[in-house]
Amino acid sequence: MTQLVVGGAQMGAIQRADSRKAVIARMIALMEEAASRGVEMLVYPELALTTFFPRWYMEDAAEVDAWFEREMPGPQTAPLFEKARELGIAMTFGYAELTPEGRHFNTSILTNRKGEIVGKYRKIHLPGHVEYDTERAFQHLEKRYFEPGDLGFPVWRNEGVVMGMAICNDRRWPETFRCLGLQGVELVTIGYNTPSVNSQMSAEGLKERLFHSELSLQAGAYQNATYVAGIAKAGVEDGHPLMGGSIIVDPNGFVIARAETEEDELIVAPCDFSACAFGKSTIFDFARHRRIEHYGRITSQAGMVVEV
């Protein structure tokens, strides 16, 4: 029976002018609080090291690349890894990755309690658009600055638990959770940066956005009998509000920890991963119940095709 105390390190706003050094100091402060509360696995948000820069339209490649990390750990992130090793905390956080070949990904990394990297995921479901969009209240240029991930949806056994990662918009796609669930995932970690208002429909505000996020995280947990930690970067970044609402969800789909603020805030949930077994062996025993012969469209057809 594997148990881990899981923490979610929600982060408040990071302004465009904030240095990575200042951000890392905040992440370390959250980690020290986590250690004091017995956390063994700590989940930080998507693009945790900087402001959510895809809201800014940039044409200059050097300006864009300044938001990216060329190595992980690098000089600025090394202190976070050292602190994690010292405190014996496994962790995951998101960052913008620039590869030696010049490729750009929205990435998250997973470490064990020795501070060693055990896994990497690159965001597959990039939302938003490529060019400046005058129809939107604000820009969401992830499709401009990142390639879709090329690593699939892997899982790793980390500290005895089958873990998978996803990032932000991935959580709205049941395919994400199912690909992980088919590999026996027991903990899905998902960082996000989600604007508090829909850039294409101002009537869709904070209440609706929180509901959609929670609905997707809870359905993914229940339908795959897995714990899910959905952790926000929140608060007002240079005038642009991001929602909070970080939660940890149990394998029944129930919320067992929830952030109350839009600031740096730690949430904690002791997780007993043997609780995943009941769902996986009964109502969601995939081998007995799934009928893949009828699912063909899901992998043969990307877009909607209306034939009637």
Catalytic residue positions, numbered: 46, 123, 168
Q: Residue 161 Cβ, how far from its own copies at the closest point, in Å?
A: 10
Q: Residue 254 Cβ, how far from its own copies at the closest point, in Å?
A: 8
Contacts of 44 by beta carbon, 8 Å cutoff, 6+ apart? 9, 11, 27, 30, 91, 92, 93, 94, 191, 231
Q: Residue 301 Cβ, how far from its own copies at the closest point, in Å?
A: 6
Q: Tell how far CA 5 is from the center of its chain.
A: 18
Q: Which two tokens mark 152?
A: 């699939």
Identify which of residues 76 and 198 has a Cβ nearer to its own copies in the complex: 198
Identify which of residues 134 and 300 has a Cβ nearer to its own copies in the complex: 300
Q: Which residues bind its own copies (CB under 8 A)?
A: 124-127, 148-149, 152-153, 155-157, 162, 169, 172-175, 177-179, 181-184, 200-201, 204, 208, 211-212, 215-216, 218-219, 222-223, 252-254, 278, 280, 282-292, 294-308
Q: Residue 173 Cβ, how far from its own copies at the closest point, in Å?
A: 7
Surface-to-core class of residue 75, CB atoms within 10 Å of its CB (0-12 exposed, 13-18 middle, 19+ buried):
exposed
The torsion angles phi and psi of 259, rounded to 5 degrees, stand at: -75, 145
Given a contact cutoff of 8 angstroms between Cβ atoms, the answer to whether 255 and 247 are in contact is yes
Identify which of residues 69 and 186 has a Cβ nearer to its own copies in the complex: 186
- Dump the DSSP string for 67-79: TSBSSSS-TTTHH
Identify which of residues 51 and 218 has a Cβ nearer to its own copies in the complex: 218
